[in-house]
């Protein structure tokens, strides 16, 4: 994957609206897109802000909502109302082709772009048949639910597989992305890197982003 096509999407894993607003203000003049983690405490053992709480948010940043929830369909209307650009659902939420296709079709009726995600334990082959129906494939490089986890190197093989199957698709990786793992992910074929700790722990968000970008340029 050519590095000039690689984008960094800061991860907004926020428990409260106040925390979300603070992190959004930090990044919105430095990035084109960001990922908002939505967790229901059922699909993963953690909870975050709900899309309905973000309805009045105004920002130039394209927000992609990663729906780490039991039933992503329940969140579509609120994602649309709050101006989301894309919804990313997890294969593991449904594991059923008819339900997956139904969700994709419903998201399209809301004029949303759609991504499909897989957890570290899920083989890439499980989503191969759906790749032509979505805009993005997300390979989780950590177990979903909490930030600051250690990158799982074995997940990169799934990135390579998906890149072979879909040469022009956006492939995103999420979890444990930092100066050492970012170039590995790009080399494997990822062109969207979701990073949280590496960006927000830096002295400034701008420095964090520039440091990360320098590793794969």
Mean pLDDT value across residues 91-115: 97
More confident residue, 45 or 34: 34
pLDDT digits (tens, 9 = 90+) for 79-92: 999 999 999 999 99
139 forms beta bridges with 118, 173
**Nearest Cα residue to 54 out of 63, 46, 41, 67:** 63
Query: Would you state the pLDDT for residue 146?
Result: 73
pLDDT digits (tens, 9 = 90+) for 183-209: 999 999 999 999 999 999 999 999 999
**Nearest Cα residue to 168 out of 117, 123, 134:** 134
What integer best gives the mean pLDDT of the chain?
94
pLDDT digits (tens, 9 = 90+) for 156-188: 999 999 999 999 999 999 999 999 999 999 999
Query: Would you state the pLDDT for residue 196?
Result: 93
Give the range of the structural domain holding residue 198, as residue numbers without chain letter: 3-213
- The encoded tokens of residue 53 equal 């709480």
Query: Would you state the pLDDT for residue 3?
Result: 47
Q: What does the alpha-carbon distance between residue 178 and residue 73 come to, in Å, rounded to a whole number?
A: 32
Say which of 40, 135, 170, 174 is annotated catalytic: 174
Confidence of residue 1 (pLDDT cuts 50, 70, 90): low
Give the CATH number, domain containing residue 62: 3.20.20.70
pLDDT digits (tens, 9 = 90+) for 121-151: 999 999 999 999 999 999 999 998 777 779 9
Query: Would you state the pLDDT for residue 4?
Result: 55
- The encoded tokens of residue 130 equal 């759906």
Number of domains in the chain: 1
Catalytic status, residue 37: yes
pLDDT over 80 at 114, yes or no: yes
pLDDT over 80 at 115, yes or no: yes
For the entire predicted model, the pTM comes to: 0.95
Q: Please state the φ and ψ torsions of residue 165, each to the nearest 5 degrees.
A: -75, -35
């Amino acid at each position: 994957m050519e590095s000039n096509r690689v984008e960094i999407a800061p991860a907004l894993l926020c428990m409260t609206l106040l925390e979300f607003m603070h992190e959004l203000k930090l990044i919105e003049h430095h990035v084109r897109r960001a990922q908002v983690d939505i967790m229901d405490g059922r699909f993963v053992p953690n909870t975050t802000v709900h899309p309905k709480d973000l309805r009045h948010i105004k920002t130039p940043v394209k927000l992609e909502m990663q729906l780490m929830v039991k039933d992503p369909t329940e969140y579509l209307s609120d994602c649309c109302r709050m101006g989301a650009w894309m919804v990313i659902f997890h294969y593991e939420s449904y594991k059923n082709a008819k339900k997956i296709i139904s969700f994709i079709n419903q998201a399209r009726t809301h004029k949303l772009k759609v991504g499909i995600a897989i957890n570290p334990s899920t083989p890439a082959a499980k989503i191969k048949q759906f790749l032509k129906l979505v805009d993005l494939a997300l390979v989780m490089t950590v177990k979903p639910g909490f930030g600051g986890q250690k990158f799982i190197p074995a997940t990169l093989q799934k990135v390579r597989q998906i890149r072979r199957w879909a040469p022009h698709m956006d492939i995103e990786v999420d979890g444990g992305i930092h100066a050492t793992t970012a170039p590995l992910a790009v080399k494997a074929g990822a062109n969207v890197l979701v990073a949280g700790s590496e960006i927000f722990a830096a002295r400034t968000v701008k420095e964090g982003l520039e440091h990360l970008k320098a590793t794969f340029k």
